[in-house]
Amino acid sequence: MSAATDIPLFPLRTVLFPGGLLPLRIFEARYVDMVGRCMRQGEVFGVVLLESGAESAGPAATAALGTTARIVDFQTLPDGLLGLLCRGERRFRIIERRVQSDRLHCASVDWLADAVPVPVAPEFQPLVAVLREVIGRLGPMASFLEPRYGDTDWVGQRFAELLPLEPAQQQRLLELEDPNECLRLLAPMIEVQP
């Protein structure tokens, strides 16, 4: 782990995994400003699961562990809002949080160690074929993924995003240190054709 770093936070009722994609619609001034800074300076912001409360109405109770997001694409949406596509990068743990005068949430964070690539075990190889097929159906958005089909962590996290899981379940999977455990938990939910 490295020294603590300060980053802006975006509390959401969703979980972002490293390597995953997150489309966002930005309309609040504090987030438009944050996005502008991130884009100009090539910086990231943190996505954390909003566990309770309404982030826009005051202090938000969030998970302590989140993932940084990097903006990989943007556009003006038909309704005039700013549309972003972000890709998850690194997991972090919040050490201390604060709310700025513009109500933007910020935190000092410690980085969690990057996952060491673990080859997909033979028992999970059929899941890789399923994932390839599903990602092949994502259309243009899939071009922003950086596929690592041979990496257990990457495969497990993509299924954690794609399966109909509650955000609290996804958060527990994000917090796992063993990528094989993630796939063991998810495998029974995935139908593999013989």
Mean pLDDT of 75-94: 93
CA distance 26 to 32: 6
What pLDDT sits at residue 103? 87
Judge whether residue 56 has pLDDT over 70: no
Mean pLDDT of 80-100: 93
The crossing angle, in degrees rounded to 10, of helices 179-186 and 152-162 is 40
Judge whether residue 60 has pLDDT over 70: no
CA distance 109 to 97: 9
What digits encode the pLDDT tens for the residues 98-138? 888 888 999 999 999 988 899 999 999 999 999 999 999 98
Domain 122-189, architecture per CATH: Orthogonal Bundle (1.10)
- Position 44, amino acid: V
Judge whether residue 58 has pLDDT over 60: no
Domain ranges of the chain: 5-111, 122-189
Judge whether residue 59 has pLDDT over 90: no
Other Cβ atoms within 10 Å of 119 Cβ, number = 10
Domain 5-111, architecture per CATH: Roll (2.30)
Judge whether residue 1 has pLDDT over 90: no
Mean pLDDT of 15-21: 96
First-to-last alpha carbon distance for the chain, in angstroms, is 43
The answer to which of 21-30, 48-57, 139-148 has the lowest mean pLDDT is 48-57
What pLDDT sits at residue 3? 66
What is the pTM assigned to this prediction?
A: 0.91
